[in-house]
A = this chain, B = another copy of it.
Amino acid sequence: MKKAPEKTRIKDIALLSGLSEGTVDRVLHNRGNVSVSSQKKVEDALAQMDYKPNVYASALAQKKKIHLICIIPKYNPGDYWERVASGINKAHEEMSMLNVYINTIYFDQYDLFSCRKAFETTLSLSPDGVLFPPFFKEESVAFTAKLNDSGIPFVFLDSYIADTNVLAYYGQDSFRSGAIAAKLLMSIVDSNAKIALFQTYRNGNLGSNQTKERKNGFLDYLNAHHPTCKTFTIGLNATEHNKNLEILKQHLSDNPETKGVVIFNSLSYIVTKYLKEIGRQDIKVIGYDILQRNKECLLRDEIHYLIAQRPDEQGYLGVKALCENLLFNRETSKINYMPIDIIVKENIEYC
């Protein structure tokens, strides 16, 4: 092991500027109570020394405790939001040495009241930062206003709402990902095929508004590149499977020339199952998100492409952004689109 060249420390700056470490520290953190002349001396020294704070020492000495609240939809094992949660946990572990504590509050993404309750609980706990997907727009805007009043920074996941002073957003460019779905599907069916578009409702509610945008992107691409291609939309109900099967059967007999389907949420494995029961496995399927069950369908060639968006990374980066802001006043870029991953049978094991 070699000898290390010297690294500039606060002590070095103090020495160079002829002041004490305490004063340098005050300047570095603009804590005030520094005379103009001292301020200048320190800044001069700083200019010629390229000081980078030792984050380890800083973390060690910091006595600040940070309490975050993550509000995410309830999930079952294997669901999309489980992966988000696992990213959050990973960040949590990494930051726990910095005295970061995270509480997770779950809500029903199809139920406004459940969401409202989660917001209220959160406010009552007066956390230092909040992470959540703003599914219900009005409610979320009201919530962010209150967070602002209390000076609590927050991060959006999955969906974005403009004109809130959100610290950062992590999610996918859904419109674009819809276009990619179209491109991929049209590369495996012919241009005058008919396409079925799936959306899922519960309590008359769509859940994430991602799916709307994906559909728009899909239609936009079709319109631009395959104007002869016809589509029709099928609304499924998240709970009534037997009814769904009937609906689907009806649609497909009305549109026998259907050659491809797209499911704009993570539930493509369900549609796949229906298609299997109906005996229409000739239909090409494009879906979203790498759930275990989708993965299995992909490997059995029942789904042909999956489009993924790294949910774990979203959770991870969201928490990190909050922590870095609260601990080190670090700014992050506001809108952070995740990569749009194209997954096929052959590359899914390397994700």
| A-to-B contact residues, CB < 8 Å | 1-5, 7, 52, 54-57, 59-60, 64-67, 96-99, 101, 128, 173, 176-177, 179-180, 183, 187-188, 337-342, 344, 346-347, 350-351
Q: Once the chains bind, are A180 and B346 in contact (CB under 8 Å)?
A: yes
Which single member of B340, B341, B347 contacts A180 (CB below 8 Å)? B347
Q: List 11 A-B contacts (CB under 8 A).
A: A2-B65, A3-B65, A54-B60, A55-B56, A57-B60, A173-B350, A180-B347, A183-B344, A337-B350, A339-B341, A341-B342
Lowest 7 A-B CB distances belong to which pairs?
A: A342-B342, A340-B347, A56-B56, A2-B67, A56-B59, A4-B65, A187-B187
- Report the separation of the CA atoms of residues A344 and B184 in the bound assembly, to the nearest whole angstrom: 10
Q: Which of A1, A187, A337, A338 has the most chain B CB within a 10 Å cutoff?
A: A1
Q: Which residue of B lies closest to A337 (CB)?
A: B350
Closest Cβ–Cβ distance, residue A66 to chain B (whole Å): 6
Instruction: Please report the C-alpha to C-alpha distance between residue A55 and residue B7 in the assembled complex, in whole angstroms.
Output: 20
Given contacts A1-B65, A56-B97, A183-B346, 4 further A-B pairs with CB under 8 A are: A7-B96, A187-B187, A187-B188, A342-B342
* A168–chain B nearest beta-carbon distance, Å: 16
Whether A55 contacts B180 by the Cβ 8 Å rule is no
For A351, what are the chain B residues with a Cβ–Cβ distance below 8 Å?
A: 339
Q: Which residues of B contact A341 (CB under 8 A)?
A: 339, 341-342, 347
Closest to A187 in B: B187
Residue of B nearest to A342 (CB): B342
Q: Which residues of B contact A346 (CB under 8 A)?
A: 176, 179-180, 183, 340
A347 touches B338 (CB 8 A): no
Closest to A59 in B: B56
A180: B residues at CB distance < 8 A: 344, 346-347
Complex partner residue of A101 from B4, B59, B173, CB under 8 angstroms: B4
Q: Nearest Cβ in chain B — how far from A304, in angstroms?
A: 9
Contacts of A3 in B (CB 8 A): 65
Please judge, given known A-B contacts A176-B347, A347-B180, A350-B338, whether A55 and B97 are in contact too, CB under 8 Å.
yes
Say yes or no: A1-B67 contact (C-beta < 8 A), given A54-B97, A55-B97. yes
Taking CB atoms, residues of chain B closer than 8 Å to A337 are: 350
A347 CA to B4 CA, complexed, in Å: 43
**Of residues A5, A128, A176, A344, which shows the largest number of chain B Cβ atoms within 10 Å of its Cβ?**
A344
Q: How many angstroms from the CA of A55 to the CA of B59 in the assembled complex?
A: 10
Chain B hits for A7, CB < 8 A: 96
Min CB gap A301→B, angstroms = 11
Whole-angstrom CA separation of A1 from B323 in the bound complex: 12
Known: A54-B97, A60-B54, A60-B60. A339 touches B344 (CB 8 A): no
Q: Which residues of B contact A187 (CB under 8 A)?
A: 187-188
